[in-house]
Amino acid sequence: MTNPFPPSQYKRIDALFRAGEFLWRRRHGVSKAFPCANAPDYWYWLMWYGPKLFPLIQQNGYAFPPAAFIQRVIGEPATAKRFNESGLVDWRRIEGCLRSAGFDFQRGGNVLDFGCGCGRILRHFALYADACSFYGGDVDADLVAWCKLHFDFAQCATMPLMPPTPYASNQFDAVYAYSVFSHLPLEAAQAWRDELHRICKPGAVVVLTLQGNNVVRSITTRVRDLGTPSAQQLERDAGKFQQEGFLFYPYPAQSESETSWMNACQYGNTFFSEAFARTFWSAGFDGVEYLPAPDDWQDYIILRRV
C-alpha cells in the first residue's frame, strides 16, 4: 500500500490520520476505491462514513458545537449529523474550487475562512493543517470563542461589524466565504469586498457563494421557503431583479434574547444575478469562473485578486 497520511504536529489530527490509514488498509475495497489515502476524496469519505465504521474516528474527531450554535449557522434541524454532512459537501466544493483556480494546498499558504461561524467548513480543512496556516474570522463572538477552544490548527478572531478587520494587508493566499455575501446589503457588501482586496495578496484565490437565479426560482416556485422574502415578494420584484440584478431583504428585528449583532449588521437575504455579480467583483478581482448552482442551491464565483 502507498500514499499513507503523513505525520501531523497536531495530536488530534495525527490520531485521525492513523485511524484513517488503518481503515484504508484493512477495510475491504477502500484502498481500491481510493488509491491515495491522503487525498481529498478519501478524506471526504472518511469524515462521512468513518465515525460509523470505526470508533476511533469518532473518538479522535473534533467536537461538534452545541445545538444552539449549530442552529445559528444552519437553522433547523440543528443536529451534529446535518452540521457535519452539510459542512463536508460545502468543504469539498470549496476545496475543489480553490485547487482548480491554482491554489496548491501542499505548497502551503495563509487561508482564511471569512465568516467561519462555529467551524462547519473549517473543521474539514484539518487535512491540510500541517501545510497551510488556517484562519477563521466571524462577527459572532460566541461562535469564534467556541472555535478558539476546539480547533488547535486554526487562528480564529472576532471581526468587527464593518471593516477593517485585524488582518494585515496582503496577508492571505486564499480566502473562502460561504453564504456571507448572501446576506449583506449593498453598501456592506461593497465594504467587505474592498476589505478582502486589502487583505489578499496579489494573485490570491477567492471562492465565495451568492444567492442567484436558482435560489430565486426555488423560492418563487415554492420549493424552498426562506421566510424573508416571501415568494410573493420575490414575484413582485422580479422585474427589478431582471433590470438591476440585485435585491436585498432585511431580516425582521431580532428580540433582545437573540443575537443582537444581526440587527447591527442589517443582515437579510441578498440576491445577485450573474451579470451583476461579475460587474460587482470586477473591482479589484479577475473573474476566474462562475458556477451557477453546482449543488442546486447557491452560485459559486472563483476570483483572483489583481
262 with 301, same domain?
A: yes
Q: Is 77 left (phi over 0), alpha (psi -120 to 50) or beta?
A: beta
16 with 76, same domain?
A: no
Is residue 259 included in any domain, yes or no?
A: yes
Q: What integer pLDDT is reported at residue 16 of this predicted model?
A: 95
- What is the rounded CA–CA span in Å between residue 226 and residue 229? 7
The CA distances from residue 110 to 65, 131, 197, 249, in Å, are 25, 10, 15, 34
Is the model's pTM score more than 0.85? yes
256 with 196, same domain?
A: yes
Report whether pLDDT(245) > 90. Answer: yes
48 with 71, same domain?
A: no
88 with 170, same domain?
A: yes
Is there a contact between 220 and 235 (Cβ–Cβ < 8 Å)?
yes
Over range 107-120, report the average pLDDT.
98
- What is the rounded CA–CA span in Å between residue 196 and residue 209? 14
87 with 16, same domain?
A: no
Looking at per-residue pLDDT, the higher value among 176 and 2 belongs to: 176
Q: Cell numbers 477593517 label which residue? A: 164
Is residue 153 included in any domain, yes or no?
A: yes
DSSP at 159 = P
Report whether pLDDT(261) > 60. Answer: no
- Kind of pairing, strands 133-138 and 268-272? unpaired
Predicted confidence (pLDDT) per residue in 31-45, tens digit: 999 999 999 999 999
Domain finish residue from 20, 44, 60: 60
48 with 147, same domain?
A: no
Is there a contact between 60 and 19 (Cβ–Cβ < 8 Å)?
yes
Domain finish residue from 21, 36, 60: 60
Is residue 194 included in any domain, yes or no?
A: yes
- What is the rounded CA–CA span in Å between residue 153 and residue 260? 29
73 with 185, same domain?
A: yes
Of 89, 95, 99, nearest to 120 (Cα)? 89
Angle, in degrees to the nearest 10, between helices 67-74 and 80-100: 50
Is residue 224 included in any domain, yes or no?
A: no
32 with 124, same domain?
A: no
Question: CA 198 from chain center: how many Å?
Answer: 20
Report whether pLDDT(182) > 70. Answer: yes
Is residue 106 included in any domain, yes or no?
A: yes
Total number of domains in the chain: 2
Q: What domain range is 35 assigned to?
A: 11-60
When pLDDT is cut at 50, 70 and 90, the band that residue 1 belongs to is very low
Which three cell numbers, joined as nine digits, stand for 246? 440585485
Is residue 230 included in any domain, yes or no?
A: no
Q: What integer pLDDT is reported at residue 165 of this predicted model?
A: 97
Over range 243-263, report the average pLDDT.
74
29 with 138, same domain?
A: no
Strands ordered across the beta sheet of 172-177: 154-158, 133-138, 110-114, 172-177, 200-210, 299-305, 285-291
The neighbour count for residue 253, using CB atoms within 10 Å, is 10
Report whether pLDDT(157) > 60. Answer: yes
Name, in order, each residue with C-beta under 8 angstroms of 82's C-beta and a sequence gap of 6 or more: 70, 74
DSSP at 136 = E
Predicted confidence (pLDDT) per residue in 74-85, tens digit: 999 999 999 999
Is residue 286 included in any domain, yes or no?
A: yes
- What is the rounded CA–CA span in Å between residue 173 and residue 108? 9
165 with 19, same domain?
A: no
Is residue 133 included in any domain, yes or no?
A: yes
- Residue 81 sits in a domain whose CATH number is 3.40.50.150
- What is the rounded CA–CA span in Å between residue 108 and residue 123? 17
54 with 92, same domain?
A: no
Share of the chain above pLDDT 90, in %: 89
